[in-house]
Amino acid sequence: MPLNNKYLNMELIDGKKVSETIKQQIAAEVEQIKARGEKVPHLAAILVGNDGGSVTYVNNKVKACEQCGFVSTLKTFDENISEETLLKTVEEFNNNDDIDGFIVQLPLPKHIDSQKVIESINPNKDVDGFHPMNVGKMMIGLPCFKSATPAGILELLKFYNIETAGKHCVIIGRSNIVGKPMSVLLSQKGWDCTVTLCHSRTKNLEQVCASADILIAALGTPGFVKADMVKEGAVVIDVGTTRVPAPEIPRGWRLKGDVLFDEVAPKCSYITPVPGGVGPMTICSLMINTLQAAKGKKA
Amino acid sequence: MPLNNKYLNMELIDGKKVSETIKQQIAAEVEQIKARGEKVPHLAAILVGNDGGSVTYVNNKVKACEQCGFVSTLKTFDENISEETLLKTVEEFNNNDDIDGFIVQLPLPKHIDSQKVIESINPNKDVDGFHPMNVGKMMIGLPCFKSATPAGILELLKFYNIETAGKHCVIIGRSNIVGKPMSVLLSQKGWDCTVTLCHSRTKNLEQVCASADILIAALGTPGFVKADMVKEGAVVIDVGTTRVPAPEIPRGWRLKGDVLFDEVAPKCSYITPVPGGVGPMTICSLMINTLQAAKGKKA
């Protein structure tokens, strides 16, 4: 890794590598399932409309299923689909015993009540972990499907044997899919961080961030975290994935994280790059949840 | 209030007064409901066994129902009741349209799976807010029944117009019924605290506490918070209610909070006493939730 030569004390957290490793482990387990003549895990996805990002995400999920040896089903709808038809499909998937878990790719068109759709999913098949039953169980510390990004970050910390107990973890951003669940998970027994959850109303944010042993940036503002906000030796996890214009490359955009990588990395003990850090772990978590769903357990 | 004379800059948070005020407001609303000839709110409680604390709590809840003008039903069972019989009663209460909300007083005897019982309650009648559906909705920021103690603390902050936005709130204790939900609620929009959740594995706890604008002690260790852990002018909320032996009074015990009141109070801008601070608010929250359940809305 050339970066490790440049920043001697820093280790790059390679989400792509971790994700590939976990998918290979899953694939090996699926081979054994097949060898025993048991049912192969089956993930289904519902995609409404043809938003570029959503299409890419869903295709990547289908591809990950192939890598893991899962069966996958993709059901697509025109963006004008009625809420009723969508709910009917959810109900079909709930009742289809062959489907172990499924997702409804978000965002949905404005005329559809997303929360209603999420709550119509059988919590035991809700491998995205967005159903309030799963969120509530996560909060209480019960077995559940954890939402993909926070669960993926936990996998990264585990893979790199990063000590969390008693560490001060500062999270920037209080979203329902990253900041809030991350704060709950890292506070729980086994992880045992002292977590401070920051947001747009936080005062002295720079100072709070600079006190973090583990800093998780999940606010979606490219380059927000600068070197003076990071303590020497900190672990920095960058959840930001904003598309910024990049006319110099054919697709015209590139992903930018919330952390100014070049100036922050030299101060870190560990840091995730963007892309290739947290991003690949999201789909990996979905695969873990699907395997657990197939085994009748929650991750 | 003699205390205000002694500690000139400190205001005592009078939970008893706030609770009585809110119950009077509820009673007035129930009078209007009756005047319109509509159904009066009905809270039911299930009590298993005769644990002294539980009997007292349930009786206080029944008394609060009377004060609010609610109908109340108390169903008691011998501690040897089977889980099946208890679940059957929960089902009856779920299906009884006259009952707007009900609680199963905890703790339950060891041979009964408490979590299973909680999850068998219809979330729309779960006025204790312990069902994962309500916990999950609280986490996501959706309308729900909030658990009593955190909701009661929010009522106290509201009643005394205590500014929370941008304040650093430190919570000691990560329990499912106080610390965790409190951290989520105070982080949310509208309250906007920067919350740090501390627990037994937290390092430099004294220092972290001393940085708090709002300090919430919910660990259950009498007298844990001392003056040097509190910033001058802080708001201190004491959730501790440990029974300590007190042979000098007839009942033989008294309640002690987590805060060493006498030495901490002079440094505070606001502080809750024990008893008479957070305690009375818990039942008050239950009354608020029951009224909301009767109105078909969640608090």
Closest CA to B290 of B52, B79, B39, B76: B39
A78 with A184, same domain: the answer is no
Which of B115, B134, B142, B202 to mutate against chain A (most A CBs within 10 Å)? Answer: B202
Which CATH number fits the domain that encloses residue A219?
A: 3.40.50.720
How many Å lie between the alpha carbon of A22 and the closest alpha carbon of chain B?
A: 28
Rounded to the nearest 10°, the torsion over CA B53, B58, B60, B62 is: -170
User: Is residue A93 in some structural domain?
Assistant: yes
Integer Rg of chain B from CA: 20
User: Is residue A233 in some structural domain?
Assistant: yes
B89 with B161, same domain: the answer is no
3-state secondary structure of B284: helix
How many Å lie between the alpha carbon of A104 and the closest alpha carbon of chain B?
A: 18
- ipTM, interface predicted TM-score of the complex: 0.94
> Token pair of A140, please?
């209480």
pLDDT mean across residues, chain B: 95
User: Is residue A197 in some structural domain?
Assistant: yes
A59 with A152, same domain: the answer is no
User: Is residue A65 in some structural domain?
Assistant: yes
> Which stretches within chain B are classed as H helix?
2-6, 15-35, 52-68, 83-95, 114-120, 132-140, 148-159, 179-187, 205-210, 261-264, 279-294
Domain boundary among A122, A138, A170: A122
In the predicted structure, residue B114 carries a pLDDT above the cut 70:
yes
Q: Span B200-218, mean pLDDT?
A: 98
Which residue in B136, B187, B194 is closest to A132 by CB distance?
B136
Q: How many CA atoms lie within 13 A of A236 on its CB side?
A: 36
Report which of residues B51 and B49 the model is more confident about: B49
Sheet containing strand B42-48, strands side by side: B71-77, B42-48, B101-104
In the predicted structure, residue B269 carries a pLDDT above the cut 90:
yes
- Contact list in B for residue A139 (CB cut-off 8 A) is 132, 135-136, 139, 176, 180-181, 184
Q: Span B195-202, mean pLDDT?
A: 98
Per-residue model confidence (pLDDT) at position B52: 84
In the predicted structure, residue B6 carries a pLDDT above the cut 90:
no
Per-residue model confidence (pLDDT) at position A297: 61
A209 with A106, same domain: the answer is no
A209 with A114, same domain: the answer is no
Closest CA to B171 of B205, B136, B130: B205
Q: Span B114-121, mean pLDDT?
A: 98
Per-residue model confidence (pLDDT) at position B2: 46
Question: Do A197 and B195 make contact, defined as CB atoms within 8 angstroms?
Answer: yes
**Residue A110 annotated in active site:** no
- Contact list in A for residue B115 (CB cut-off 8 A) is 142
Per-residue model confidence (pLDDT) at position A7: 57
Cα–Cα distance, B281 to B270 (Å, whole number): 16
Question: Do B131 and A134 make contact, defined as CB atoms within 8 angstroms?
Answer: no
Q: Spell out, as residue ranges, where chain A has pLDDT lower than 50.
A: 1-5, 299
Question: Do A136 and B132 make contact, defined as CB atoms within 8 angstroms?
Answer: yes
- Contact list in B for residue A133 (CB cut-off 8 A) is 132-133, 136
A113 with A171, same domain: the answer is no
Which of A172, A197, A209 to mutate against chain B (most B CBs within 10 Å)? Answer: A197
Q: How many domains does chain A have?
A: 2
Paired with A73 in beta bridges are A44
Interface of A with B (CB under 8 A): 115, 131-142, 165-166, 168, 174, 176, 180-181, 183-184, 187-188, 192, 194-199, 201-203, 208
Cα–Cα distance, B134 to B152 (Å, whole number): 16
User: Is residue B232 in some structural domain?
Assistant: yes
User: Is residue A11 in some structural domain?
Assistant: no
Cα–Cα distance, B142 to A133 (Å, whole number): 13
- Contact list in A for residue B124 (CB cut-off 8 A) is none
Domain boundary among A87, A122, A157: A122
- Contact list in A for residue B132 (CB cut-off 8 A) is 132-133, 135-137, 139-140, 142
Q: Which residue from A minimizes the CA distance to B192? A: A201
> Which stretches within B172-278 are classed as H helix?
179-187, 205-210, 261-264
A152 with A267, same domain: the answer is yes
The 10s digit of each residue's pLDDT in B282-293 is 999 999 999 999
Which residue in A115, A142, A198 is closest to B194 by CB distance?
A198
Confidence of residue B9 (pLDDT cuts 50, 70, 90): confident
A85 with A177, same domain: the answer is no
How many Å lie between the alpha carbon of A210 and the closest alpha carbon of chain B?
A: 14
User: Is residue A135 in some structural domain?
Assistant: no
Q: Residue B213 burial (CB < 10 Å; 0-12/13-18/19+)? A: buried
User: Is residue B299 in some structural domain?
Assistant: no
Q: Does the global pTM surpass 0.80? A: yes
Q: How far is CA A107 from CA A112, A115, A220, B142, B197, in A?
A: 10, 11, 16, 18, 32
Neighbouring C-beta atoms of residue A67, cutoff 10 Å: 15
Contact B146, B130 (CB under 8 A): no
**Residue A61 annotated in active site:** yes
The secondary structure of chain A as a DSSP string is -HHHHHSTT-EE--HHHHHHHHHHHHHHHHHHHHHTTPPPPEEEEEEES--HHHHHHHHHHHHHHHHHT-EEEEEEE-TT--HHHHHHHHHHHHH-TT--EEEEPSPPPTTS-HHHHHHHS-GGGBTT--SHHHHHHHHHT-S-PPPHHHHHHHHHHHHTT---TT-EEEEE---TTTHHHHHHHHHSTTT--EEEEE-TT-SSHHHHHHT-SEEEE-S--TT-B-GGGS-TTEEEEE---EEEE-TTSTTSEEEE-SB-HHHHGGGEEEE--SSSSSHHHHHHHHHHHHHHHHTT---
A106 with A193, same domain: the answer is no
Q: Which residues contact B2 (CB under 8 A, 6 or more apart)?
A: none
Per-residue model confidence (pLDDT) at position B8: 65
Q: Which amino acid is at A183?
A: S
Q: Which residue from B minimizes the CA distance to A201? A: B166
Question: Do A136 and B141 make contact, defined as CB atoms within 8 angstroms?
Answer: no
Which residue in A187, A194, A201 is closest to B208 by CB distance?
A194
Contact A109, A79 (CB under 8 A): yes
Per-residue model confidence (pLDDT) at position B1: 44
Contact B265, B215 (CB under 8 A): no
B161 with B269, same domain: the answer is yes
A159 with A271, same domain: the answer is yes
Per-residue model confidence (pLDDT) at position B299: 45
- Contact list in A for residue B134 (CB cut-off 8 A) is 136
B259 with B157, same domain: the answer is yes
Rounded to the nearest 10°, the torsion over CA A251, A252, A257, A258 is: -150
- Contact list in A for residue B135 (CB cut-off 8 A) is 135-137, 139-140
- Which residue segment(s) compose the domain that A181 sits in? 147-278
Is the torsion defined by CA of B102, B105, B107, B108 positive or negative? negative
Question: Do B194 and A194 make contact, defined as CB atoms within 8 angstroms?
Answer: no
Which of A119, A135, A219 to mutate against chain B (most B CBs within 10 Å)? Answer: A135
> If residue B198 lies in a helix (H) or strand (E), which one and from where to where?
strand B194-198
Per-residue model confidence (pLDDT) at position A8: 64
Which CATH number fits the domain that encloses residue B71?
A: 3.40.50.10860
- What percentage of residues in chain B have a pLDDT greater than 90? 93
Q: Which residue from A minimizes the CA distance to B173? A: A187
Neighbouring C-beta atoms of residue B59, cutoff 10 Å: 13
Per-residue model confidence (pLDDT) at position B147: 93
